[in-house]
Amino acid sequence: MTDKNALIQPDRGQKAVAIHLLAKDSFEPFVKGLSAPQRAALAAQKFVGDTGSHAIVPDGDGWFVVAGVADPDVLSTWCLAKLADVLPAGTYRRVSGNPGPGKSGGELGKAALGWIAGQYSFDRYRSEPSEEGPRILLTTEVKAIDAVIAEGEAIELVRDLVNTPAEDMGPGQLESEAESLAKAFRAEVKITRGEMLEREYPMVHAVGRAAGRAHAPRLIELEWGDPKHPRIAVVGKGVCFDSGGLDIKPGAGMLLMKKDMGGAAHALALARLIMGAKLPVRLHLVIPAVENAISGNSFRPGDVLRSRAGITVEIGNTDAEGRLILADALTRAGEKEPELVIDFATLTGAARVAVGPDLPALFTREDKTAQDILDAGLAVDDPCWRLPLYEGYREYLKSDIADINNAGSSGFAGASTAALFMDRFVPKGVDWAHFDTFAWRPAAKPGRPKGGDALGLRAAWLMLQRRYTGDHG
């Protein structure tokens, strides 16, 4: 991981290059205070204060930066992310006023996170990784640095895990990630595999058994925190590669399936944030980790599986495997009687058709929980969109020979029917939030490179902080 402590540092008057942030309407007054050569430099770079643009301006023996933002008084998460990517390595300080003494403008707010995220790169498999030094940003908001760094590390954890190919990110590697977290935060880990997995979590075993010993399925559990605190469960879909099983995907559909463990990556990252901040909860992390492979012992369309909950499931499609392993995991989480369950899963293409790649589809039982998450997402520039758990669609999951079918009989409302399937395995009366997230950026944006990404993570994290600490900042 990048050393996040090297990217955001307290401002103690160190030598640094100045960054002036301007709204479009403040460009002309700012330019009037510059020298003729400085105005010429801005003109040569065609900088007129447009949001997202920047220019480098000579200043004696040095230089400073001007950048256009929508509102210099309320910085968005991503407004400095492009600068963090394109500026030369060095140390920078936000200032206000024209060049000269000016006054410190070191308050960064949400933009500090974008500065960190904007310097992410995935170089694990490059023969010559980038040797460019970091861009360091100074801030007067010293008390906020640790929280910003923690969120930056959580985002990077999701990106690294999702970007890593399945050969190097199988069920065993997810287990190792959980064990590393447990060691760092003095948590307890329990791994269920082999014959015990087959007995206790039969659907996790059935989905993952075809992968063989090299990528054997398992259920990963981590517990942390004071048992006297409110119990919450965080569950993540850990399908480390999804061939589709016997209902095999076409090549194009399989190309990104290393990311099908993106839910597990989000769950691990959220657990890291919870433990790092010492949130007053009793945390139960549950990750069913499998590879949906093809072999002579693959589970088949038409098979009937008995779940941990005792509910029988007819297999309408082996490519609807994520909900099967999550059903056993959600059942396990419910046995601990949590007051809140949050799960993350790269579950359905239907959710992407409905809301696109940027918005995680959110399903909840409680209206207030949905609103809390939606509000939190907007507050931290990590938006989500609620879709319905509509009772009328339960009929799509009917089976002629079992309690339920894993694949909807209709081509409509695929994300909702998947969520309704999982709802069957969450105990009644438990507050439950389900994120159907993409965990991937198909195109780069400032601070958000193409590839694996955390979508919905920070919305869930802020909601939890507000709920369990009362901090609505």
Neighbours of 88 (CB within 10 A): 11
- Among candidates 311, 323, 338, which has minimal Cα distance to 221? 338
Instruction: Return the amino acid letter for 110.
Output: K
Contact 11, 106 (CB under 8 A): yes
Q: Ramachandran region of residue 429, left (φ > 0), alpha (ψ -120 to 50) or beta?
A: left
CA distance 64 to 427: 58
Helix or strand holding residue 374 (H, E)? helix 367-379
Antiparallel, parallel or unpaired: β 340-345 and 431-436: parallel
CA distance 452 to 360: 14
Told to judge if 249 belongs to the known catalytic residues of this protein, a careful annotator would answer yes
Catalytic residue among 323, 448, 458, 467: 323
CA distance 124 to 113: 23
- C-alpha gyration radius of the chain: 24
DSSP 448: B
Q: How many residues does the chain have?
A: 473
- Among candidates 273, 274, 2, which has minimal Cα distance to 154? 273
Catalytic residue among 24, 39, 249, 441: 249
Contact 295, 384 (CB under 8 A): no
Catalytic residues: 249, 323
